[in-house]
Structure 1
Amino acid sequence: MMISSLPFSFLFSFVVIFGTILSLSSSHWLIIWAGLEINLLGFIPLIISRNTTAETQSGIKYFLIQALGSSLLMLGSLHTFSISSTWEVMDPHSWLTTTPLILSLILKLGAFPFHFWLPPVMAGLSWLMCLTLATWQKLAPLFLLSSLSQVYLNTTMTKFMLIIAGISSLIGGLGGINQTQIRAILAYSSIGHIGWMLLAMTASETVLKMYFLIYIFISLGLFSLLLFSESPILPNSFRQKTKDLKMLQISLILMLLSLGGLPPLLGFVGKWATMSYLTSLSSPITALPLIAGSLISLFYYLSLLFSLTLASSKMTLTSFSPSLTPLSLPLAPLFITSLILMLNISGSVFIFSSIPLSEFL
């Protein structure tokens, strides 16, 4: 089944990558819109490739939301062209003209106030599609929005982005408190990280790139572990007391804590860099709502992990995943996850190596 679907997956994966690259490499709003549409047309078949009811529902929801975002993007592009007779991205326009463009990109990202679609869509996807939605699908909207923010730097748009960033982080923290489904938790975590990316966007494009790369790296490790475990609900993956799964449990715990931003793990580095840059600009108070949202997220991560690691279960290794045997389990995920884990724990090295030694003398 998997082998027969490989040409299908490769074809539409290429379409998804091509659409994103086309959007990022263009300075023409019409070509950007076309690239986003190509990306959407390639991603929908990948979502529904297993032909399950949950994936079909998520695919329909995702298509409707992204179609609405594309409509707003085209509306803003046509409005811009009608006023200035240009399709250029870096050409500054009035706030009224730019508003549909900003709203369309925020809708595609899943930030406040258009965050409502992300948890139900991610709840029905496979782990690989969840990883793609949380990382690659954010690439084009995020950096297109960054290009717009550079045009309107230190204007009303900057204040608007700071408000969206703060509320998104708070929603990401508060929304995940009562969640027990791992996909829903990761969806709200993604919303919170979008808030930090928007804050980093207003600070520096370099900080934004670093934060996004760190987020991709942690998400790759976390979703790889979940993909290996094939467990849709968190307690089922943690209630394993067999010796062979201990390393997998520890890796998953550290990845979740790193995603929550617990120092000195790698997930803390991006937030620390953003705060450090804002402090140099004498505006650290703008990050207070995001810090509050991160602390709430970290609180329910710690509470959830504490309760799950103390839980007992009679489940065996074969009930953990029918496709994994005691011999194949340590060989498949642990080599990759060990490498990611080592680099994840080394986040403190990046932090302290960037502090001048003169501060300690």
Structure 2
Amino acid sequence: MAQTVQTALFFSLGLGTMLTLASNHWLLAWMGIEINTLALIPLMVQNPHPRAVEAATKYFFAQAVASALLLFATLSNSYLTGTWNIPLISHPAPSTLCILALAMKVGLAPLHTWLPEVMQALTLRTALILSTWQKLAPLYLMYQIPLANPDLFLALGLLSIIVGGLGGFNQVQLRKILAYSSIAHLGWMVLVLSISPPLTLLALYTYLLISSSLFLSLMFLRTTHISSLSTAWAKVPALTAILPFILLSLGGLPPLTGFAPKWLIMLEMIKENLILIAVTAILSSLLSLYFYLRIFYTATLTTPPNNPPGTLPWRLQPQYNTLIPALTTTATIALLPLTPTILTYLTW
């Protein structure tokens, strides 16, 4: 794909998201999401492989159904209430339909089935965009919708955490594991959305940071399968040593950055007397921690059967810019002490 075309597609991705974030009108927000979707599909098929074409087709149909449902819900709200303003969607039926449509957009359970299959067939760079940037606009709209039915957010969030944990079992493809990880983390964000929206933003920003760091690390290692991580030490030794900390931060273990959102969400759930939901969520997150530890074990505690002949890859010049992965990795590991300051800014 020509560099000019790629630049135009990335510009369209940014334009679509910014249009949605800046709009107060449902039609403009819907247009921004559609620009996002249509800009990502050519990036999916930039390598004309049958699996990539299949993934792009699945993504298109899933997003088309969600977009049609979202447009129908907003039209119904306009007919019932006479307004197109996003915060003024007050009727319960259109509000519920909008939430379900946006849940399908981002891949929340039980509307998640397209996400692992699509991510499995993408390149790591496109999968990174799908896991991070494409979540911003739909989650912003969910953030803006008045809470006509808070129990719906709790149900979607808890189910996503459980499905995200169970789905990653027995998976050996890293992109599919990260897809289920995305579903589980989206569940944490939505779980607390009806109780404390600033915590949802904190969980979102933390996930974007850690997920970007992990994807960039895998791009450096040029691997998409768990078994190939056993030779990662010969490619980037320093990154292989840091990779376990990124995985443990994604799993939410202290004293890493990923611990803060889950801990604060648990405290907020207990304050609201939702103890059973909190316990179920934290136990389900242990399932996700299991497959993070599988990757941890393969990357650091196993060795390949044979020594690689010739010059080790880490002695060669790196093919990627190392500044951004270095910054994201540092933030992934060491931002926990700044959590109170970050949360203060988010509550303004």
TM over 0.5: yes
Structure 1 residues 319 and 276: CA distance shift in structure 2, 3 A = farther
Q: Which moved more, 1:337-346 or 1:125-134?
A: 337-346
Q: Does 1:195 align with 2:192?
A: no
Structure 2 counterparts to residues 151-162 of structure 1, below 5 A? 151-152=146-147, 155=148, 157-162=149-154
Q: Does 1:176 align with 2:165?
A: no
The whole-number CA distance in structure 1 between the counterparts of 2:27 and 2:325 is 41
Q: Which structure 1 segments of 5+ residues have no match?
A: 355-361
Alignment match, 2:277: 286
Shift of 1:36: 1.1
Q: Per-residue displacement from partner, 1:144-189 (whole Å, max 9, x unpaired)?
A: 01111xx22xx5x111110111110011111101101101100000
Distance 1:192 1:98 in 2: 23
Match of 1:7 in 2: 4
**Deviation of 1:275 (Å):** 2.0
CA distance in 1 between counterparts of 2:170 and 2:12 reads 37
Is 1:343 the counterpart of 2:331? The answer is yes
Deviations 1:60-90 (A, max 9, x none): 1101000000000111111112222221212
Q: Percent identity?
A: 34
Q: Which residue of the partner structure matches residue 357 of structure 1?
A: none
1:216 maps onto 2:208 in alignment: yes
Matches within 5 A, 1:251-330: 251-313=242-304, 314=306, 316=308, 326-329=315-318
Q: Spell out, residue by residue over 1:41-78, the C-alpha distance to the aligned partner (whole angstroms, 9 max, x if none).
A: 11111111122222211111101000000000111111
> Aligned pair in 2 of structure 1 residues 50, 159: CA closer, same or farther (>3 Å)?
same
Deviates more, 1:113-122 or 1:29-38: 29-38
Alignment map for 1:31-50 (pairs within 5 Å)? 31-50=28-47
Q: How many residues align?
A: 341
Please provide the CA RMSD for this pair.
2.4
In structure 2, what is the Cα distance between the partners aligned to 1:241 and 1:204? 42
CA deviation vs aligned residue, 1:220-256 (integer Å, no higher than 9, x gap): 11111111222121221233453x6321212222212
Whole-angstrom CA distance in 2 between matches of 1:319 and 1:129: 31
Who is 1:358 aligned against?
none
> Partner of 1:328: helix, strand, or coil?
coil
Q: State the Cα distance separating 1:282 from its structure 2 match.
A: 4.3
Question: 1:284/1:352 Cα in 2 relative to 1: closer, same or farther (>3 Å)?
Answer: farther
